[in-house]
Amino acid sequence: MKINSPLQAYKYLPQTNCGECGEPTCMAFASKLIDRSFKTADCPPLVKEKKFAKKLAELEGLLAPEIREVIIGVGEKAAKIGGDDVLYRHKLTFFNKTKMFFDVADNMDEAAIVERVKQIADFRKFYVGNYLLLDGIAVRAASGDPAKFAAAVKKVGETTDLPLILCSFDPAVLKAGLEAAKDKNPLLYAANKDNWKEVGELALEYKVPVVVSAINDLDTLKTLAKTFADAGIQDIVLDPGTVPVGKGLKNTFTNFLKIRRAGIDGDVEIAYPILALPFTAWMAGIEDPVNASYWETVMASMFTIRYGDIMILHSMEPYAVLPEMHLVDTIYTDPRTPVAVDGAMYKVGSPTADSPVFFTTNFALTYYTVESDIASNGIDCWLLAVDTDGIGVEAAVAGGQLTADKVKDAFDKSDFDLKKDVNHNTVIIPGLSARLQGDLEDSLSASIKVGPMDSGRIPGWMEKNWPAK
C-alpha cells in the first residue's frame, strides 16, 4: 500500500466516529486499515453515501497491496494469491498462503485421474486447531491433444471443486480445456513469447487469470505482463521458470528475489504473484524416487520462503506433503498475534485416575513442546493449558498472566475436579513457576509438586517422583 500511517488513512474517512464499523473512532478504524485487518467495505457510511465515493476510490487506490491479488477458482475453495506489501514477514505479515497445486496428466486413464484427484482433495493434517489442506489441481496437457485434455479437465472438475490450473502452451488445447471448465475460473498456463497473442485472447474471452512465462528472461516476462495489462488483463501470474538444479536453480532463486523486490518497491508492471514449479525436480534425472521427492520438497521450501505465491508439485507422498504444508503455514502465520491453544484440559495418551496432572501455558510453542515431551516418552497424563494470553511460563509468571487464581480458573472452566477425576489430588507444576507453589496449595487445596525447569526432563523427574508419595 502507498500509505503507512493511520493518520494518512483517516483523511479519507467520514471522521464522524459513528461506530458502525465496531470501532470506537474513525482513527481506530484507520489503524485497522493500515494493519489490513479491516477493509474499506467495513465502513458502511464510506460505502453507502455518495458524497464519499471519490474519497473511497482514492483510499482504495492507496490501500491496494503492492502485489496484485489474483483469485483462481470459484466458491469456498477459490485460491487467493498475491496481495503482499512487505519483503519480510515480521514487517507486517505475509498475506494469502502459498497455494499448493498438484499435477494430473491428461494421458492418465480415467480411474487413475479420479483416484489421484481424490487423494489430493482429501489430504489433511490437523494442526493448532485447524486442518492443513492442499489447494488445487494442475491439469497437464501431456498428450497435446485438445479432446483428451478437455476430457481430463472435465473429469477432474466432476471429481473435485478445488481450483484448477490448465497447463499447455497450445492455444487450441487451452481453449478445449476452458470449454470443459466453464465458469470454474481456472488459471491459464501459459502465455509465452510464441503464443502470447492467442493465449491473451483466451484470457480475455473467458475472463480467467493467466500465467505469463519466460524462462530466466525477466525482460520478456515483464514485456508479456505489460502487454497483457495494457490489453486489459488484470489477473496475471508470473512464471520466470523453475530450473531444478545447479546454476539454473540459483538463477531461478535470484529471479524470484528480484521480481518481488521490484514489485514491493513499486514497479507495478511486474507486481504480480509468482508461480514456482518444484515439479521440475522430476526432470533432473534423480533416479531414486525418495531422493527426487526430497529435492522437490527442498525446492518447494526455497520458494515458499522466497516469494513463490503458487506452486505446482508432483509428489503426493506424505513425507513430501506434510513438511511442505507445515512450512507454508509457518511462513504465513501472522507474526503479530501470538499463536495460542485453547485454554482447556487435554489428555495426553490415555490417562486414568492414577495419571499425573500437569499444567502449562497456552502459548502454542510451550504447549506443544510440553505435550510432545510427555507423549514421546509414553507418559499418560492430564495436561491443562492455562490461558496466559499466549505467553510462555517464565514470562507469564513474571508478567502476572500466570497466577494461582488463573490456574484455578482454568481447572474450573475445564470442569476438571482434582478430588474426583484423579485419586491423588496432586498437581505437578512447571519448574519455572515454582514460586506459585504456596499460593496454589491454598487455591486448589491440593498437593503441589514442582516439576523440572524444562519439560524435556519430565521423564527423569517422573521416575524419581511418581507415583506421588
The reply to whether 253 sits near another protein by the rule CB under 8 A is yes
Of 74, 112, 147, 231, the residue at the interface with another protein (CB under 8 A) is 231
Q: Which residues of 268-304 are buried (b: 16+ CB within 10 A; e: fewer)?
A: eebbbbbbbbbbbbbebebeeeeebbbbbbebbbbbb
The reply to whether 244 sits near another protein by the rule CB under 8 A is yes
The reply to whether 318 sits near another protein by the rule CB under 8 A is yes
Look up cell 482514492; give the residue. 58
The reply to whether 39 sits near another protein by the rule CB under 8 A is no
Rounded to a whole number of angstroms, the minimum distance from the CB of residue 308 to another protein is 12
Q: Which of residues 258-287 bind another protein (CB under 8 A)?
A: 258-259, 261-262, 265, 267, 269-270, 277, 279-280, 282-285
Q: Which stretch binds another protein (CB under 8 A): 138-146, 150-158, 381-389, 415-423?
A: 138-146
Q: Which of residues 109-128 bind another protein (CB under 8 A)?
A: 122-127
The reply to whether 86 sits near another protein by the rule CB under 8 A is no
Nearer to another protein, 6 or 209 (CB): 209
Draw the binding track, 443-462, toward another protein (x: CB under 8 A; -: no contact).
-----------x--x--x--
Rounded to a whole number of angstroms, the minimum distance from the CB of residue 59 to another protein is 29
Q: Which of residues 373-392 bind another protein (CB under 8 A)?
A: 373, 375-376
Rounded to a whole number of angstroms, the minimum distance from the CB of residue 66 to another protein is 14
The reply to whether 305 sits near another protein by the rule CB under 8 A is yes
Q: With beta carbons less than 8 A apart as the criterion, state whether 384 and 413 touch.
A: no
Rounded to a whole number of angstroms, the minimum distance from the CB of residue 98 to another protein is 13
Q: Which stretch binds another protein (CB under 8 A): 33-41, 72-80, 331-339, 420-428?
A: 331-339
Q: Which of residues 198-227 bind another protein (CB under 8 A)?
A: 200-201, 204, 215, 218-227
Nearer to another protein, 29 or 295 (CB): 295
Rounded to a whole number of angstroms, the minimum distance from the CB of residue 433 to another protein is 16
Of 89, 148, 154, 413, the residue at the interface with another protein (CB under 8 A) is 89
Nearer to another protein, 62 or 262 (CB): 262
Of 314, 401, 418, 429, the residue at the interface with another protein (CB under 8 A) is 314
The reply to whether 11 sits near another protein by the rule CB under 8 A is no
Nearer to another protein, 78 or 305 (CB): 305
Distance, CA of 359 to chain centre? 30
Bridge partners, 386 (sequence order): 361
> 375 phi and psi, to 5 degrees?
-65, -40
Q: Which of residues 140-159 bind another protein (CB under 8 A)?
A: 140-142, 144
How far is the C-alpha of 428 from the C-alpha of 112, rounded, in Å? Answer: 53
Q: With beta carbons less than 8 A apart as the criterion, state whether 370 and 351 touch.
A: no
The reply to whether 290 sits near another protein by the rule CB under 8 A is yes
Q: Which of residues 179-198 bind another protein (CB under 8 A)?
A: 193-194, 196-197
